[in-house]
Amino acid sequence: MAEEYDLVVLGGGTGGYVAAIRASQLGMKVAIVEKEELGGTCLHRGCIPSKSLLRSAEVFRQTKNSEEFGITTGNVELDFTKVQQRKSGIIDTLHAGVIALMKKGKIDIFKGFGRILGPSIFSPLPGTISIEYENGDENTMLVPKNVLIATGSSPRTLPGLEVDGTHVLTSDEALEMETLPQSIIIVGGGVIGIEWASMLADFGVNVTVLEFLNQILPTEDHDVAREVERQLKRKGVTFVKKAKVLPDTLQKENGVTIEAEVENAKQVFSAEKILVSVGRQANITNIGLENTDIVVENGVIKTSGFYQTKESHMYAIGDVIGGMQLAHVASHEGIVAVEHMSGKKPELLNYNNIPACIYSNPEAASVGLTEQQAKDNGFDIKVGKFPFKAIGKALVHGETDGFVKIIMNKENEDLLGVHMVGPHVTDMISEAGLAKLLDATPWEISHSVHPHPTLSEIMGEAALAVEGLQIHG
Dump pLDDT digits (tens) for 367-382.
999 999 999 999 999 9
Which CATH number applies to 362-465? 3.30.390.30
**What is the per-residue pLDDT across 42-72, written as a single tens digit (0 to 9) for each?**
999 999 999 999 999 999 999 999 999 999 9
Same fold, 157-278 and 362-465: no
Question: Cα(381)–Cα(187) distance, rounded to whole angstroms?
Answer: 35
Q: Where are the domains of the chain?
A: 2-154+281-341, 157-278, 362-465
Q: Which CATH homologous superfamily contains domain 157-278?
A: FAD/NAD(P)-binding domain (3.50.50.60)
How does strand 140-149 pair with strand 314-316? parallel
Question: Cα(162)–Cα(247) distance, rounded to whole angstroms?
Answer: 9
Q: How confident is the model at residue 473 (pLDDT cuts 50, 70, 90)?
A: confident
Q: Look at residue 1 and tell me whether its pLDDT is greater than 80.
A: no
- Predicted pLDDT of residue 241: 97
**What is the per-residue pLDDT across 179-237, written as a single tens digit (0 to 9) for each?**
999 999 999 999 999 999 999 999 999 999 999 999 999 999 999 999 999 999 999 99
Q: Which of 332, 424, 452, 472 is an active site residue?
A: 452
In a 13 Å sphere around the CA of 472, the CA atoms on its Cβ side amount to 15
Please compute the mean of the pLDDT values over residues 448-454 and round it to a whole number. Answer: 97
- Share above pLDDT 90 across residues of the chain, in percent, rounded to a whole number: 96
Question: Cα(150)–Cα(316) distance, rounded to whole angstroms?
Answer: 6
- Share above pLDDT 70 across residues of the chain, in percent, rounded to a whole number: 100
**What is the per-residue pLDDT across 261-301, written as a single tens digit (0 to 9) for each?**
999 899 999 999 999 999 999 999 999 999 999 999 999 99
**Phi, psi angles (nearest 5°) of residue 69:** -105, 10
Strand partners, 404: 386, 420
Q: pTM value?
A: 0.96
Average pLDDT, the chain: 97
* Domain topology for 2-154+281-341: FAD/NAD(P)-binding domain (3.50.50)
How does strand 265-271 pair with strand 256-262? antiparallel
Q: How confident is the model at residue 136 (pLDDT cuts 50, 70, 90)?
A: confident
- Predicted pLDDT of residue 228: 98
C-alpha Rg value of the chain to the nearest Å: 24
Among this protein's residues, is 452 annotated catalytic? yes
* Helix 191-202 × helix 222-235 angle, to 10°: 20
User: Which among 29, 32, 24, 18 has a CA at the least distance from the CA of 332?
Assistant: 18
